[in-house]
Amino acid sequence: MYCPSCKAEFRTGYTACAQCGVALVDELPPGPLPEYLDLTTVLVAPDESMLMVAKSRLEAEGIPCFTTNNMQDLFGLGRIAGYNLVTGPQELQVPPEDAERAIEILEAIEAPEEDAE
Ligand SMILES: [Zn+2]
């Protein structure tokens, strides 16, 4: 159970938020998560395999990352008829505060034969 006002989670049995006094709901309504609204695109991958490699590297470094497909699913925009979202280039996005580090990590992936570090 969740409070739709302050987003606090309550155990089953509660019916109203102790803080706000509003009725709890089973699930929070789907909608943009504020902290994910302002993502920075750090990579446009020509295919999914490269996207997956990049994503797993960033996640291994503790950087949360999102593909444009995920974002569109999240916002319910991924089902536009006639618009193929799967086969085109896919963007990898991270929160702006992680973008600089993410780009460094991605550059290291793209030039594996260089032993710069
Ligand atoms: Zn509340």
pTM above 0.75, yes or no: no
Q: What is the pLDDT of residues 5-56, one digit of tens each?
A: 898 899 888 999 989 999 999 888 766 555 556 788 999 887 778 888 999 9
Residues 61, 21 share a domain: no
Range of the domain at 6: 1-29
* pLDDT recorded at residue 45: 82
Residues 70, 55 share a domain: yes
104 CB contacts (<8 Å, ≥6 apart)?
Answer: none
Q: What's the 23 CA to ligand 1 centre distance in angstroms?
A: 9
List the beta bridge partners of residue 66: 93
Residues 16, 1 share a domain: yes
Residues 45, 22 share a domain: no
CB atoms within 5 A of ion ligand 1 belong to: 3, 5-6, 17, 19-20
